[in-house]
Amino acid sequence: MITTVTLNSAIDKTYYVGRFDKGNVHRVGRQIAEPGGKGNNVAKVARLLGAEVAASGFAAGANGAFIEERLVERGIRTAFVQAQGESRICLNIIDETDGSSTELLEQGPVATEADVAELKRTLHGLASSSSIVVLSGSLPQGVPVALYAELIETIRAANAKAYLDTSGAALAAALQAKPDFVKPNEQELAAWLGRELRSEDEVAQAASSLADLGIGTVCVTLGGRGAIAFLDGKGYRVKPPKIEAVNTVGCGDSFVAGMAYATERGASPEGRLRAAAAAAAANAMSDRAGHLELRRYEEYLNEVEVTAFR
């Protein structure tokens, strides 16, 4: 089983308007509401690929109930800790005249010490029956910056692999616990290093330095250019299929889902990277984050190029 943890779950709402002008009233032509937050996107894609999936983290209020209900409808087991207040809404307004996106992101509820303690107990039980636990996204208000590091120790104590996808101070603190997998994007890696990365060779050097910390799998995603990865000390460049993306939101989460799914099934390093890149590309062809069509995913598997360079 693959377990995902989303500490700052959200309802992802997308509004499509004919033209978005600041200060005016707009009629919404079409809208989508999805259970969101990075870990929940991972859960949705892993389930679509065929994995058994459980989703955990914090959920609050009526919004939290919506998130859980929609995940359960997809065949995902839920085990969220109920926090006070309301889970956040993340609003994305798409201007259909030019395809531009305007995002409004709420902060979400404040988690208490008691909430964190309950989450650790819940996570230990889930990890004990999981092969992989994915920790994704931002930290909610009220929790220590080292929480991901603490959760990695909880996962390791239950003999599961810990996958991490976060950024900033949360990433820096969690690296001390040596997760089994990390997936920064190019900008997040540069922020961790404290300097600009001017070329893919510099990205590869920075990714190698992450692997040297004792992290078995490091994948740095480069958007439409693919990824640079180190798996068990060996470097790979990943070239994705050529597509005209419909939506790039959730592609990184889909990459993580593909990697976890293929790893659980014992795929080779090249097979894991192909699955990750194919899932990300298939997500990019959907108007919903954390969604793909299996037909497209299977088609893209044969179009991903993986080249070893060290």
Catalytic residues: 253
User: Rounded to the nearest 5°, which phi and psi values hold at 110?
Assistant: -95, 125
User: Residue 248, CB half-sphere, CA atoms under 13 Å: how many?
Assistant: 12
- β-partners of residue 5 are 56, 135
Spell out the residues 6+ positions from residue 118 whose beta carbon is closer than 8 angstroms to its own: 81
Amino acid at 181: F
Q: At 251, which helix (H) or strand (E)?
A: helix 251-264
Give all strands (DSSP E) within 18-110, no chain letters. 28-36, 53-60, 77-83, 88-95, 101-105
Spell out the residues 6+ positions from residue 66 whose beta carbon is closer than 8 angstroms to its own: 11, 33, 35
As a whole number of angstroms, the distance between CA 215 and CA 220 comes to 13
User: Which tokens in the block code for residue 39?
Assistant: 């870990």
> What angle in degrees, to the nearest 10, is found between the helix axes of 186-193 and 200-211?
70
Helix, strand, or coil here: 99?
coil
Q: Residue with structure tokens 């699955």?
A: 275
